């Protein structure tokens, strides 16, 4: 199970990028994306996001 970011909800705060233990999240301008090939599905980023933009894919 991997996680995804809803770009329509993400406000680009960057909190998830530093929370990910395997560096699966990359910031591109004002949005972030999760690399599904790297994500381990730990869920840490989901609990970090202040606007609940991250959920299981």
| Residue 31 beta carbon to ligand SF4: minimum distance, rounded to whole angstroms | 7
Nearest partner of 35 among 51, 18, 20, judged by Cα: 20
Of residues 44, 50, 56, 55, the one with CA closest to residue 14: 50
d(CA 7, CA 40): 20
11 lines the binding site for ligand SF4 (CB under 6 A): yes
Residue 36, interface with ligand SF4 (CB under 6 A)?
no
Residue from 14, 18, 55, 57 in contact with ligand SF4 (CB under 6 A): 14
The footprint of ligand SF4 (CB under 6 A) covers 3, 5, 10-16, 19-20, 22, 24-25, 32, 34, 39-45, 48-49, 51, 53-54
């Amino acid at each position: 199970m991997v996680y995804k970011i809803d770009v329509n909800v993400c406000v680009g705060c960057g909190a998830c990028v530093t929370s990910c233990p395997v560096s699966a999240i990359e910031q591109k301008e004002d949005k972030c994306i999760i690399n599904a090939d790297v994500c381990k599905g730990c869920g840490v980023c989901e609990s970090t996001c202040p606007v609940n933009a991250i959920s299981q894919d």
